């Protein structure tokens, strides 16, 4: 059984500005051992501005930030998938700003950081702390679809097992929403 509480509140600062804040968590067992558990805590903040004469929601500016902490207990698995028990305390945060500059078009800039606690028993190269800077351009042909071009630059920190390095990636994403969706005032 996993528990996922969430508490959020929003209010209008002015007729053209809205703010939404929240805290959330998730608690429950994981599959690495008989008594192994995972706990996740998060806090987020969202701000949106759009002029009183906005046409179809454009133009707008959105700023969003979130921070999370995870405590992951890796227990000795039934098939020895983990050779010994270990607990990882990891955390991360991001902040992004999106500017809807013309009806159907938006540009964004995002910064991320994730801190991965080093493992005492494994040389997993995926446990490298990293920074990421992303830019994107999104086109909304309708309220049910979007096409996004995104560039990411990652800086991976050195560990005892892996040297630090930079990575670049480019994504082209197409998203389609099906079915009815609820209206929201922000």
Query: What is the predicted pLDDT for the residue at 143?
Result: 85
Nearest to 78 by CA among 34, 20, 29, 129: 34
**Three-class secondary structure assignment of the chain:** CCECCEEEEEEEEECCEEEEEEEEEEEEECCCCCCCEEEEEEEEEEEEECCCCCECCECEEEEEEEEEEEEEEECCCCCCCCCCCEEEEEEEEEEEEEEEEECCEEEEEEEEEEECCCCCCCCCCCCCCEEEEEEEEEEEEECCEEEEEEEEEEEECCCCCCCCEEEEEEEEEEEECCCCCCCCCC
Which residues, 6+ apart, have CB-to-CB distance to 147 below 8 Å?
138, 139, 141, 172, 173, 174, 175
Is the distance from CB of 136 to CB of 99 less than 8 angstroms? Answer: no
* Residue 16 domain-assigned (yes or no): no
pLDDT value at 73 more than 70 = yes
pTM score of the predicted model: 0.84
In a domain, 1, yes or no: no
- 115 vs 89: CA distance, rounded Å: 9
**How many C-beta neighbours within 10 Å does residue 74 have?**
21
Confidence of residue 130 (pLDDT cuts 50, 70, 90): very high
Higher pLDDT, 162 or 59: 59
Query: 10 or 88: which carries more pLDDT confidence?
Result: 10
Average pLDDT over residues 144-156: 96
| pLDDT tens-digit map of 11-59 | 999 999 999 999 999 999 988 888 889 999 999 999 999 999 998 889 9
Q: Are strands 37-49 and 86-102 parallel, antiparallel or unpaired?
A: unpaired
What is the structure's pLDDT at 180? Answer: 74
Whether 35 is covered by a domain: the verdict is no
pLDDT of residue 181: 67
Residue 56 resides in a domain: yes
Tokens for 83?
Answer: 């050779």
Is residue 41 assigned to a domain?
Answer: no
The predicted pLDDT at position 100 comes to: 97
Residue 163 has pLDDT above 90, yes or no: no
| pLDDT at site 159 | 74
Supply the pLDDT for residue 141. Answer: 95
- At 173 the pLDDT is 97
Q: Is residue 143 part of a domain?
A: yes
What average pLDDT does the segment 136-147 reach? 95
Question: Containing domain of residue 130, as a range?
Answer: 50-176
The structural domain count of the chain equals 1
* pLDDT value of position 70: 96
Rounding to the nearest 10 degrees, give the CA dihedral for residues 67, 40, 73, 159. Answer: -10
14 falls within a domain: no
In a domain, 124, yes or no: yes
When the pLDDT of each residue in the chain is averaged and rounded to a whole number, the result is: 89
157 band by pLDDT with thresholds 50, 70 and 90: confident
Q: pLDDT at position 183, please?
A: 61
């Amino acid at each position: 059984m996993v528990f996922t509480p969430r508490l959020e509140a929003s209010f209008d600062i002015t007729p053209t500005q809205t703010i939404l804040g929240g805290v959330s968590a998730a608690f429950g067992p994981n599959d690495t051992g008989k008594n192994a558990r995972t706990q996740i805590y998060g806090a987020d903040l969202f701000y949106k501005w759009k002029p009183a004469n906005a046409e179809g929601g454009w133009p707008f500016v959105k700023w969003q930030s979130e921070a999370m902490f995870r405590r992951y207990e890796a227990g000795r698995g039934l098939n020895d998938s983990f050779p010994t028990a270990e607990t990882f305390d990891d955390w991360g945060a991001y902040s992004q700003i999106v500017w809807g500059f013309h009806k159907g078009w938006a540009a964004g800039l995002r910064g991320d950081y994730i801190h991965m606690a080093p493992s005492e028993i494994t040389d997993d190269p995926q446990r490298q702390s990293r920074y990421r800077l992303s830019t994107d351009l999104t086109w909304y042909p309708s309220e049910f679809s979007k096409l996004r071009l995104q560039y990411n630059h990652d800086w991976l920190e050195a560990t005892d097992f892996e040297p630090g390095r930079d990575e670049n990636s480019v994504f082209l994403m197409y998203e389609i929403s099906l079915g009815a969706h609820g209206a929201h005032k922000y």
